[in-house]
Structure 1
Amino acid sequence: MTKRTSSAASGERLAIENAHRAALRSIARVVDDSVEPQDPGTARDGIARMLSRGSVLLLTGAGVSTDSGIPDYRGPNGSLKRHRPMTFQEFKYDAGARHRYWARSFVGWRHMAGSEPNAAHHALAEFERRGWATGIVTQNVDGLHARGGSSTVVALHGDLDRVGCLVCGFVEDRDALDARLDAANPGYVERIELDLSLVNPDGDVTLEARHVDEFRMVGCLNCGSEELKPDVVYFGEGVPAARKEEIARLEDKSSSLLVVGSSLAVMSGYKLLLDAVRAGKQVGIINGGPTRGDAKADWLWRTRVAPALEQLLEDVGGLALRDRGPGN
């Protein structure tokens, strides 16, 4: 190996290590209270009037799916208190870590795939149907917005329903892969006593080492490689450029932003709030706990997500009737 080649390899290793450390900092970010929440009535009324004007871009996070049995990351019972998500660098460059992920995900997928949209998903779909919202950008990877009736959804961090090969790029439906894994691991799930409350937002669960060791991975249908990855953006991985462009088009069509069920701890989501503030657009936040954007929001409603959204359906509908006036 030449000195130049060795130097390039060292530089690549350093870049990987730096990206991994940055991902760990993002995972560990703690979001504390930065401002006093507004009076609930004031915040609710402000968000209702924002929605009544239409063209609202919705940004959602894990708090929207908690009522579907999928935990959030940073809430009081968030999964980060018991589990650290794997970084992209670990997944790509550590075969043992990748094998461990697939063993755990094979078990957890049954719970994720069986989850159903809840009242929050249905309410947000209704926002779009009534013309109040331009669409949804979601940080969730569970696919529940589309199943809940929303038609314009951009999955910022991807979707667990698809799996791609890191070697050749071949894409496979997750259900099809699951069937192949099931055939390679007969009786595997039945041998594991699973506490469904411990399934993580990224779809995996903690397993004993002996269960991980006995799991058998399958290869890519196109090239045979076992370097398969769910089509989701891991901590330490960038959002695809095409997805960023799709989000930018939605931002251009929107006159305000409503954040629902997200702490905005991750920069890819927080950036949408920063974009809205820079553009002079109103920002509303509905969340059960503090968020990274609280100090920048025009309306800050600290409350449970699903009941708040259902209440807004009534409030905004009432505003429309009043604005129309008698006999109109």
Structure 2
Amino acid sequence: GLSFRSTKGCWATNLSQQCLRGSSRLFVPPSPPVNPEEVKEFQHFISLSKKLLVMTGAGISTESGIPDYRSEKVGLYARTARRPIQHSDFVRSAPIRQRYWARNFVGWPQFSSHRPNPAHWALSTWESLGKLHWLVTQNVDALHTKAGSQRLTELHGCMHRVLCLDCGAQTPREALQERFRVLNPKWGAEAQGLAPDGDVFLSDEQVQSFQVPPCLRCGGPLKPDVVFFGDTVDAAKVDFVHKRVKEADAVLVVGSSLQVYSGYRFILTAWDKKIPIAILNIGPTRSDHLACLKLNSRCGELLPLIDPPEQGSSLQSCC
């Protein structure tokens, strides 16, 4: 459980021991031990690439304690009947925005405190060594940025930024948290369970008195700078990523089932351009039939085992 309450003017967050342990065991599905032969195959794939593009999904961040939606038995869809907020509902309804921000306010201290795990650090190291041509993430948790990645596209935005739906002004999410505190000095809530993307579960009664501040510039409604379900990724960003894919000589998918088309389309582009594809994900993905190498290990266990500086001549013979 998780609670957020006001005590003599000072806000305090109480997390259960389960949350404090990082929750990685809760949110990462079971996987077989790392196979040494698969490590050799994966090393060969990475060594032969000179312009590697990596696409990451929620499965890389579950090992940091952030739940995902689709993992078998442990994802949000498997654990609860609740579903993520839809873009159209958020835009049209002030009460829905109030409910969203109340839940996000309670969950933010925990969500924003998550740290990169060995998989994030490994990819950052690959970039610093010149191995990683570009990194595309479907995640909104900023963990790649925290790990130091710079050649990065956040395909679905980032929860650490907030924008106004009317004027487009952008502000840090942490600054909004303070505005929430000022507007709600006596408001308190208790939540049971964490959801992806900084969300928690609250009852309707708990959120009715929660006050949501407007945009400081124009008074318009505020929204996280992320692509909600039912929304579309900016066309310019899509074109940019397509160009990076076409420049690559290999594509690696890390921790994504590729069920969402916004990421899957780039794998189709790589396949069309005959760019070799490898997938590291626990469980099946939408593109397993397109990959020359599929691994079912934990991202944080396998990626640090790979030695990125080794160079080769061509990946065409690998796949």
* TM-score, scaled to structure 2: 0.82
Kindly indicate whether residue 47 of structure 2 is the aligned counterpart of residue 52 of structure 1: yes
Instruction: Describe the SS at the equivalent of 1:137.
Output: strand
* 1:235 match: 229
What amino acid is aligned across from residue 105 of structure 1 in structure 2?
N
Instruction: Describe the SS at the equivalent of 2:224.
Output: strand
> Quick one: distance in 1 between partners of 2:275 and 2:311?
22
* 1:203 match: 198
Is the radius of gyration larger for structure 1 or structure 2? 1
* 2:305 match: 311
* 2:189 match: 192
Instruction: Describe the SS at the equivalent of 1:86.
Output: coil
Q: Among residues 239, 258, 262, which one is paired with 1:264 in the alignment? A: 258
CA contact (8 A) 2:104 2:200 kept: yes
CA contact (8 A) 1:51 1:133 kept: no
> Quick one: distance in 2 between partners of 1:242 and 1:45?
38
Report the identity percentage: 40
Q: Among residues 218, 221, 246, which one is paired with 1:223 in the alignment? A: 218
> Quick one: distance in 1 between partners of 2:261 and 2:64?
25
Cα distance per residue 1:119-168 (max 9 Å; x no partner) = 11101111212222112100000001011121211000000111111122
What displacement does 1:187 show? Answer: 4.3
Structure number having the greater helix percentage: 1
> Quick one: distance in 2 between partners of 1:102 and 1:212?
9
CA contact (8 A) 2:190 2:202 kept: no
Residue ranges of structure 1 left out of the alignment (5+ in a row) = 1-36, 322-328
What amino acid is aligned across from residue 278 of structure 1 in structure 2?
D
* 2:13 match: none
Q: Among residues 74, 78, 81, which one is paired with 1:77 in the alignment? A: 74
* 1:296 match: 290
CA contact (8 A) 1:111 1:199 kept: no
Kindly indicate whether residue 276 of structure 2 is the aligned counterpart of residue 282 of structure 1: yes
Superposed CA RMSD in Å reads 2.0
- Size of the aligned set, in residue pairs, is 276
> Structure 1 pair 320/223, CA: closer, same or farther in 2 (3 Å)?
closer
> Quick one: distance in 2 between partners of 1:223 and 1:72?
35
Residue ranges of structure 2 left out of the alignment (5+ in a row) = 1-31, 313-319
> Quick one: distance in 2 between partners of 1:156 and 1:296?
22
What displacement does 1:96 show? Answer: 1.8
> Quick one: distance in 1 between partners of 2:100 and 2:109?
15
Q: How does 1:1-328 map to 2 (within 5 A)?
A: 40-41=35-36, 43-53=38-48, 54-75=50-71, 76-81=73-78, 82=80, 83-188=82-187, 191-195=188-192, 198-225=193-220, 227-313=221-307, 316=308
What amino acid is aligned across from residue 266 of structure 2 in structure 1?
L
Instruction: Describe the SS at the equivalent of 1:289.
Output: coil
Cα distance per residue 1:149-204 (max 9 Å; x no partner) = 2121100000011111112222221111111111101143xx33345xx3222211
What amino acid is aligned across from residue 144 of structure 1 in structure 2?
L
Structure number having the greater strand percentage: 2
* 1:7 match: none
> Quick one: distance in 2 between partners of 1:68 and 1:57?
22
What amino acid is aligned across from residue 58 of structure 1 in structure 2?
V
What amino acid is aligned across from residue 289 of structure 2 in structure 1?
A
What displacement does 1:237 show? Answer: 0.7
CA contact (8 A) 1:123 1:309 kept: yes
> Quick one: distance in 2 between partners of 1:222 and 1:246?
30
What displacement does 1:40 show? Answer: 4.7
What amino acid is aligned across from residue 97 of structure 2 in structure 1?
R
What displacement does 1:42 show? Answer: 5.2
What displacement does 1:256 show? Answer: 1.0
> Structure 1 pair 148/187, CA: closer, same or farther in 2 (3 Å)?
farther
> Quick one: distance in 2 between partners of 1:308 and 1:257?
17
* TM-score, scaled to structure 1: 0.79
CA contact (8 A) 1:60 1:138 kept: yes
Cα distance per residue 1:47-73 (max 9 Å; x no partner) = 322211221100000111112110111
What amino acid is aligned across from residue 233 of structure 2 in structure 1?
V
What displacement does 1:77 show? Answer: 0.8
